[in-house]
């Protein structure tokens, strides 16, 4: 039977072919800087009333789509509502906690 273990010399030689990231995190930082900050859109009275009406209908285990303001940009998440906390005015979709004040659009996709 042939032994296929590499010697220390072979391991050292193979290490030269491992990718090297001298500037770890640099490219993530560049991508972050490329993002343009979006101004926050204030809801009209009608939009606010429609959003409030939809929020009253939301229950855990419903599937929803939410657009919300987060760190100078709008994000959209779609998933199952895991918790609604009226006391602190937030909704949790899977593992994303969203303040009611940050929501700009809310759609009920499925009722389970």
Domain boundaries, the chain: 45-110
Out of 11-15, 56-60, 70-74, the most confident range is 56-60
pTM above 0.75, yes or no: no
- Is pLDDT at 19 greater than 90 in this prediction? no
What CATH number labels 45-110? 2.30.30.520
CA–CA gap between residue 65 and residue 94 (Å, rounded): 12
In degrees, rounded to 5, the angle at the alpha carbon of residue 108 between the alpha carbons of residues 106 and 109 is 125
């Amino acid at each position: 039977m042939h032994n296929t273990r590499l010697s220390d010399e072979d391991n050292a030689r193979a290490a030269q072919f491992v990718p090297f990231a001298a500037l770890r995190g640099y490219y993530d930082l560049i991508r972050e800087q490329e993002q343009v900050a979006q101004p926050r859109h204030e809801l009209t009275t009608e939009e606010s009333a429609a959003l409030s009406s939809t929020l009253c209908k939301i229950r855990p285990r419903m599937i929803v789509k939410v657009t919300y303001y987060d760190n100078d940009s709008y994000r959209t998440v779609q998933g199952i509502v895991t918790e609604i906390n009226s006391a602190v005015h937030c909704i949790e979709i899977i593992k994303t906690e969203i303040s009611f004040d940050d929501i700009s659009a809310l759609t009920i996709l499925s009722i389970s």
